[in-house]
Amino acid sequence: MARKRKKDREEKADEPKVQRVEERETEGSPLSDVKFKNLKGETIQLMDVLSDDNVFAFDGNGVTKYKVSYPGVKALARAAGIDQCYRLLVLNGPSLDNKMTTLVTVTLTDENGDELITKLGEASDENTKGIAKLYKSTIAEKRGYVRGVLELLGLDNLYGTDEFSGDEEKTVEPELSSTDYQAISKYADAILKAQTIEDLETVGEDIKEVADELNTTQTGFLRRHYSKRDGELSAGF
């Protein structure tokens, strides 16, 4: 049975095994209005699953779109009933000819082990940066996983934070005054100094406690740097 599943994944690397749970347009739509259906057909409000720490707005050619952190996508998968994933390394022979690329297919399953969808994830020197270049297999797997979850749930205009190397999108980032920065500098420094995901989550809890005292520019600044550090730390696992 295991051999048959592996063969099927190789033959249908990027072909959905089932129809999407729900086709839904989310571009330009307030996230509070966005819903999806789990594998049982139950409707779930997107922001009942995601927290403000998991989702970030950015400017996509004049249209506000949204990035979702990897922990946020895993929370969506749990809420939807997506149980496990299997990875198959397609290409792990980075060279100058293939732009130092690693390819991984990721197959998502339900709680019974039935395959739901298989997506391809890739990572190369062109679409990764910094420490992530040392963990291309992990980054490729995460990209395939995120693409599979978001496509299966019909959330076509949400994107995983790992899809961006830094130049593909322009984050909406109002100017932060020196006074505003001084008020949040200890939190910004703590984010940068976090050595583990647990450290980062502790900082996040501290920020939540003072969230009511922060303005939107300060909150946005901390969210962006939190997301960036989250991506850096996740790439090390």
Q: Which of 114, 140, 163 corresponds to the end of one domain?
A: 163
Who wins on pLDDT, 40 or 26? 40
Number of domains within the chain = 2
Q: How confident is the model at residue 95 (pLDDT cuts 50, 70, 90)?
A: low
| 215 inside domain | yes
136 has a pLDDT exceeding 60:
yes
Same domain, 125 and 64: yes
| 199 inside domain | yes
| 195 inside domain | yes
Q: What are phi and psi of 69, to 5 degrees?
A: -70, 160
- According to the model, what pLDDT value does residue 235 have? 64
| 30 inside domain | yes
- According to the model, what pLDDT value does residue 91 have? 65
> Which residues are CB-contacts of 183 (< 8 A; sequence separation ≥ 6)?
214, 218
Length of the chain: 237
Contact status, residue 40 vs residue 24, Cβ threshold 8 Å:
no
Same domain, 93 and 207: no
By C-alpha distance, which of 128, 110, 90 is closest to 39? 110
126 has a pLDDT exceeding 60:
yes
Same domain, 200 and 159: no
| 78 inside domain | yes
Quick one: which H or E segment has residue 154?
A: none
**Chain segment 177-219, per-residue pLDDT in tens:** 667 777 888 898 888 888 898 999 999 999 999 989 998 888 8
Same domain, 131 and 228: no
| 168 inside domain | no
Same domain, 61 and 106: yes
Same domain, 116 and 9: yes
Contact status, residue 120 vs residue 105, Cβ threshold 8 Å:
yes
Average pLDDT value for residue range 116-141: 85
Same domain, 193 and 101: no
Same domain, 225 and 124: no
Q: Which of 114, 137, 163 corresponds to the end of one domain?
A: 163
| 37 inside domain | yes
Same domain, 181 and 129: no
Quick one: which H or E segment has residue 59?
A: strand 55-60
Q: How confident is the model at residue 62 (pLDDT cuts 50, 70, 90)?
A: low
Of 17-31, 148-162, 204-218, 219-233, the poorest mean pLDDT is in 17-31
Q: How confident is the model at residue 88 (pLDDT cuts 50, 70, 90)?
A: confident
Other C-beta atoms lying within 10 Å of the C-beta of residue 111: 10
- According to the model, what pLDDT value does residue 81 have? 95
Same domain, 192 and 226: yes
| b/e burial code for range 160-179 (CB count within 10 A of at least 16 → b) | bbbbbbeeebebeeeebeee
Q: How confident is the model at residue 11 (pLDDT cuts 50, 70, 90)?
A: very low
| 169 inside domain | no
Q: Which of 128, 144, 163 corresponds to the end of one domain?
A: 163
Same domain, 86 and 111: yes
Would residue 112 be called left, alpha or beta, if left means φ above 0 and alpha means ψ between -120 and 50 degrees? alpha
Same domain, 108 and 218: no
Q: How confident is the model at residue 23 (pLDDT cuts 50, 70, 90)?
A: very low
Domain of 193? 174-234
Q: Which CA distances in Å does 97 have to 24, 101, 103, 139?
A: 39, 9, 14, 20
Q: How confident is the model at residue 36 (pLDDT cuts 50, 70, 90)?
A: very high
| Cα 138 from Cα 106, distance rounded (Å) | 11
What distance lies between CA 57 and its chain's CA centroid?
A: 13
13 has a pLDDT exceeding 80:
no
Of 7-16, 53-62, 81-90, the poorest mean pLDDT is in 7-16
- According to the model, what pLDDT value does residue 93 have? 61
